[in-house]
Amino acid sequence: MINYDIVIVGGGPAGLAAAVCAKQNGIDSILILERDKELGGILNQCIHNGFGLHTFKEELTGPEYADRFIRQVKDLGIEYKLNTMVMEVSQDKIVTAMNREEGMFGIQAKSVILAMGCRERPRGALNIPGYRPAGIYSAGTAQRLVNMEGYMPGREVVILGSGDIGLIMARRMTLEGAKVKVVAELMPYSGGLKRNIVQCLDDYGIPLKLSHTVVDIKGKERVEGITLAQVDENNRPIPGTEEFYTCDTLLLSVGLIPENEISRGMGVEINPVTSGPKVNESLETNMEGVFACGNVLHVHDLVDFVSEEAAAAGRNAAAYVKAAAGSGNPADSDTVSTDAAGEQSTDNSGAVEVIKDTIEAHEIRLIPTAGVRYTVPSTIRPDHMDENLTVRFRVGSVYKNCYVSAYFDDERVIHRKRQVVAPGEMEELKLTKEQILQYPKLKTITFKVEEE
Amino acid sequence: MEIKNLICINCPMGCALTVEMEGQEVVSVSGNTCKRGDTYARKEVTNPTRIVTSTVRVAGGEADMVSVKTKEDIPKGKIAECIKALKDVQVQAPVYIGDVIVTDIAGTGVDIVATKNIELTLPLLG
Amino acid sequence: MYDVIIIGAGVCGAAIARELSRYQVKICVLEKDEDVCCGTSKANSAIVHAGYDAVTGSLKAKLNVRGNEKMGELAKELDFPFERNGSLVLCLSEEEMPGLQALYDRGIANGVKELRILNREEVLQMEPNVTDQVYAALYAPTAGIVCPFGLNIALAENAYANGVEFQFNTEVTEIHKSEEGYELQTGKGVFHARYVVNAAGVYADKFHNMVSDKKIHITARRGDYCLLDKEAGSHVRKTIFALPGKLGKGILVTPTVHGNLLIGPTAVNVEDKEGINTTAEGLSQVLEKAGMSVKNIPTRQVITSFAGLRAHEDGNDFIIGEVEDAKGFIDCAGIESPGIASCPAIGEMAAGLLKEKMGLKEKDNFISTRQGIKNPSLLSMEERNALIKENPAYGNIICRCEMVTEGEIIDAIRRPLGARSLDGVKRRTRAGMGRCQSGFCSPRTMEILARECNMNMFDITKSGGDSKLVVGTNKDTV
């Protein structure tokens, strides 16, 4: 069996950033497994701009953003296999993969980073009634057809769901010659970024109908039209509000679901809210040495934050491999490189040892409540914490002029003003180790949205 | 005095901007969190511009399409013309990020550049 | 001139074709759609009923029990997925017990084996997710689940291997009596046959009434279904029915032979015989009623919903036999539930009838077995690697959700009566049938179809006809 220190499942933005950071933290034996024919994942079909403002302080398109990381992966000599599907990962971290050339094979990993991304929620998940003709596409499938293959899925388009891919595709289809008649959104607010509503809909005069959904699909062979209706506060269609639109295409942008079939198969515990693994401060799942990052962990809006999160996963996986080597077989310690990055991280792990002695090892639970739907991570072990920790979360509805707060047990420690928070835009609060060390008996940190 | 409300598109913050105008003159911008919001608002009410992204065909490459963009933003009113000018453009592989695909698109003075690397097709085995 | 023309390539048409292909006879199947299994056969509960439902003495009862008996061996011969998972009919109160007892008695009278009435504890032990209201249940261990596409395709492929001709996209528009038999007008010209078998599903009345003065009438009875993710597939292991009502067997909850959970159907009579649209009321009724038999159904895991039409004849029984006033015209009409279960017996009966009438002789080279599309996930790693070495396409996963390889898709296209559309590939390989519902794989499957069939991407369809998937290229209308 082939052996690697770190096997990364997925060569999209998360996998690439994790690999680069793991390598920079002194691990040489890294393998990225990518199921597509090129690295970069979904970024390759996201040809619009707006990526990289945080990471590179410039506005890049998806393929350009991916290329920045692909070049680093190649320059650092990180190994990867393309067109390779990971079939399963066992509890003892044997990764079974398959491709045309090598067939099916196993890889023994010391650490596994899950970076499989997400998939689009299909029509069926919404129980949209009507026929099942050709011309119903998830927005991402249409995006691939148009942006990578140059095929137009239709001429007259209705889009259900105002998630970012739906908004972006409204503009793409328009620019490539289709007529986008309307974007309908079930919720009373858009699921996408505000900038995308301005740039993708307003710029082209495409109406956005909030609190509307598709109640019928007409057309036996190809879509001939759809009926929209307004919905009430329980998201039920209101009789009498039906409006028929002729169209040959219905694009669905109705949510993304982390792809955790491999994770579940190996016994990783899943958070039902995010559909992603439950992780601690190191982005480590309930299975030791198995880390998760990017959209497989929770669906992000911005790739910049995926890269940031994935870098943390890569760094933590590297620390895990080195710690295991330090405590285990000395023969394994050759994975700790002696270059500058290696020395630096060796120092870091030394620091971890010191802190371990001084902090009582315990686990703090992060509790989302009062408008906060979930947090990533869901637990913090202070003794494993870096100096700074970003806690990311989403809220359950739109709040204006509110505060996002963190209570350390019963004491409100963080209280940040927000003009507006919305489910479509991920929120974050930064915790510092210093803060947490001031509360040695801390059991829970509760995250809330507060009006006052 | 005229008031225009905009949403800043520079970053995902999406600040709600208020622009006070006196005829064609911008009197004040408020609601922005950073300087880019101010700049955007002044430009958006006088000369709105956008980066345009699209695709053109590639011959002999690993993929049939290469993604492209305007190297800088172009006037909003020129978008349709820009797309039209790209309609029959075809380039030969290999193409690399930053390669100029069309110069001075639609008379804007801005070039169209590739945003993806498309290598030459390697002869397929089997 | 054919000896026999069969109208319809659904499970009945295919089963009759296959049984008839044992004899020295020239057969052609005319199908209006682009593939086999495009009507009632593709959208149903896929249940091989045990046979206690139908009135004793009816054709439904007789053929169901016989079909159920034959299904196991047929599945082995023709290599399609079938499993005897058993079924439970739930009784929720003591007052309903006479109804359950009547069902039991009828089952015994119909010749169903191993039937048992279980008490509440036995039921809950067998199926912990059955509603807590359960009082007792009728347990039929012989009931099973089948892949309806697999069954239909296997029958057709085997018939083809035994010399039966299939004409797709060939809709019969008129039938006239001729000197030697019948003349069938189609969109593709006129076909002549000595004998005609009418296995046209919801349209069987139309064809019957073209040749007979004794009219029959078929109502298309629509049923809406929801299909759930494989994660929910083991929520129940047996097929769970409520006690039957007037319009059929009510809403069932069942695992599918591929490991999903299926719930449905409703029963609504519709005018339009192509009216396979689901409705909001139908789907909510499915979800609500299923919850009355089985608790905690994870309805968030629905991956698709669909509707099918049953061909309900006014007489409420299968009509199989020569039409009284149309010699040589054999009806196979009114085949609603338990049609899937009965089809092996329907094939046997109709073929037997024709054998008698036509004095047919058996072939000595009848091929009784057929090999399905190889499923690499059933192989060991060594076998799989040998397969990939021989054909690397088996190492290339196209459908991520169902883990379908390029090798399987190519096989589905290249084999006789091969797939020509996305749905054709889907029914044969399950590519696109998983939790993302073809989001990832459809562009790739389209490419493979275009390459293998030497077709233009613009001609690739979802399911034939005008169901085109892409309509142009970027900026072509700018």
CATH code: domain of residue C225:
3.30.9.10
Q: Is B34 within a domain?
A: yes
Tell me the percentage of chain A whose pLDDT exceeds 90: 80
Residues 6+ away with beta carbon under 8 Å from C406: C393, C394, C396, C397, C398, C448
**Res A279 pLDDT > 80:** yes
**Res A194 pLDDT > 90:** no
Residues 6+ away with beta carbon under 8 Å from C441: C398, C399, C400, C401, C404, C431, C432
Specify the pTM. Answer: 0.93
Mutate which: C422, C470, C475, vs A, most A CBs within 10 A: C470
Domain-terminating residue out of C258, C292, C311: C311
Task: Provide the chain B residues 23-82 that lie in CB contact (below 8 A) with chain A.
Answer: 50-55, 57, 63-65, 67, 69, 76, 79
Q: Is B19 within a domain?
A: yes
Tell me the percentage of chain C whose pLDDT exceeds 70: 99
- Burial category of A72 from C-beta neighbours within 10 Å (exposed 0-12, middle 13-18, buried 19 and up): middle
**A80-114 tens-digit pLDDT:** 999 999 999 999 999 999 999 999 999 999 999 99
Q: Do C305 and C380 belong to one domain?
A: no
Mean pLDDT of A293-310: 96
Q: Do C408 and C299 belong to one domain?
A: no
**A129-148 tens-digit pLDDT:** 999 999 999 999 999 999 99
Pick B126's closest partner by Cβ from C392, C474, C475.
C392
Q: Do B25 and B65 belong to one domain?
A: no
**C167-199 tens-digit pLDDT:** 999 999 999 999 999 999 999 999 999 999 999
Dist. CA C211–CA B7, nearest whole Å: 71
- Per the structure, the complete domain to which residue B8 belongs is given by 2-47
**Res A341 pLDDT > 50:** no
Q: Do B40 and B75 belong to one domain?
A: no
Q: Do B32 and B61 belong to one domain?
A: no
Look at chain B and count its residues. Answer: 126
Output phi, psi for C217, to 5 deg.
-140, 125
Q: Do B43 and B62 belong to one domain?
A: no
Task: Write down the pLDDT at residue C382.
Answer: 95
Compute the mean pLDDT over every residue in chain C, rounded to the nearest whole number.
Answer: 96
Domain-terminating residue out of C311, C334, C355: C311
Mean pLDDT of A341-355: 45
CB contacts < 8 A, B to C, total: 12
Q: Do C238 and C135 belong to one domain?
A: yes
Task: Provide the chain B residues 11-50 that lie in CB contact (below 8 A) with chain C.
Answer: none
Q: Is C50 within a domain?
A: no
A129 and C439: CB-CB below 8 Å? no
**C418-437 tens-digit pLDDT:** 999 999 999 999 999 999 99
Number of domains in chain C: 2
Pick A141's closest partner by Cβ from C280, C443, C472.
C443
Q: Do B103 and B69 belong to one domain?
A: yes
- DSSP-assigned letter for residue A269: -
Number of domains in chain B: 2
**B65-77 tens-digit pLDDT:** 999 999 999 999 9
Q: Do C225 and C299 belong to one domain?
A: yes
What are the structure tokens assigned to C11, written together?
Answer: 């499970």
**C1-21 tens-digit pLDDT:** 999 999 999 999 999 999 999
**Residue C246: band (very low, low, confident or very high) from pLDDT cuts 50, 70, 90:** low
**B7-38 tens-digit pLDDT:** 887 766 678 899 999 988 899 999 998 898 99
Domain-terminating residue out of C259, C290, C311: C311
Task: Write down the pLDDT at residue A335.
Answer: 42
C477 and A132: CB-CB below 8 Å? no
Catalytically active residues of C are: 49
Q: Do C133 and C280 belong to one domain?
A: yes
Q: Do C140 and C233 belong to one domain?
A: yes
A153 and C440: CB-CB below 8 Å? no
Specify the DSSP element, H or E, that contains A245: strand A243-246
Q: Do B23 and B62 belong to one domain?
A: no
Task: Write down the pLDDT at residue A333.
Answer: 41
Q: Is B95 within a domain?
A: yes
Bridge partners for A431 per DSSP: A389
**Res A291 pLDDT > 80:** yes
**Res A349 pLDDT > 50:** no
How many whole angstroms from its chain centre is CA B125?
A: 39
Q: Is C140 within a domain?
A: yes
Q: DSSP strand E in A280-355: where? A: 290-292
C-alpha distances in Å from residue C284, one per residue of A239, A254, C225, C310 = 16, 20, 10, 20
Q: Do B61 and B110 belong to one domain?
A: yes
Q: Is C70 helix (H, G, I), strand (E, B) or coil?
A: helix
**Res B125 pLDDT > 70:** no
Q: Do B66 and B110 belong to one domain?
A: yes
B12 and A44: CB-CB below 8 Å? no
- Burial category of A314 from C-beta neighbours within 10 Å (exposed 0-12, middle 13-18, buried 19 and up): buried
Cis peptide leading into A377, omega within 30 of 0? yes
Mean pLDDT of A371-398: 94
Dist. CA A326–CA A342, nearest whole Å: 14
Task: Write down the pLDDT at residue A343.
Answer: 41
Residue whose tokens read 């109406």: A207
B53 at C interface, C-beta within 8 A: no
Q: Do C228 and C136 belong to one domain?
A: yes
Mean pLDDT of A276-299: 97
Partners of residue A44 in chain B, C-beta under 8 Å: 116
Q: Is B124 within a domain?
A: no
**Res A353 pLDDT > 60:** no
CATH code: domain of residue B99: 3.10.530.10
How many whole angstroms from its chain centre is CA A2?
A: 29
Q: Do C397 and C272 belong to one domain?
A: no
Q: Do B43 and B85 belong to one domain?
A: no
Which other chains touch chain B, taking contact as 3+ CB pairs less than 8 Å apart? A, C
Q: Is B104 within a domain?
A: yes
Dist. CA A341–CA A25, nearest whole Å: 6
Q: Is B123 within a domain?
A: no
Dist. CA B16–CA B41, nearest whole Å: 10
**C386-409 tens-digit pLDDT:** 999 999 999 999 999 999 999 999
Q: Do C382 and C307 belong to one domain?
A: no
Q: Do C138 and C223 belong to one domain?
A: yes
Q: Is C138 within a domain?
A: yes
Q: Is B122 within a domain?
A: no
Q: Is C176 within a domain?
A: no
Q: DSSP strand E in chain B: where? A: 2-7, 16-22, 25-30, 49-50, 53-59, 65-70, 74-75, 90-92, 100-102, 112-114
Q: Do C436 and C289 belong to one domain?
A: no
Task: Write down the pLDDT at residue A54.
Answer: 85
- Per the structure, the complete domain to which residue C429 belongs is given by 376-477
**A153-166 tens-digit pLDDT:** 999 999 999 988 99
* Ordered DSSP codes for C94-161: GGGHHHHHHHHHHHHHHT--S-EEEEHHHHHHH-TTB-TT--EEEEETT-EEE-HHHHHHHHHHHHHH
ipTM score of complex: 0.93
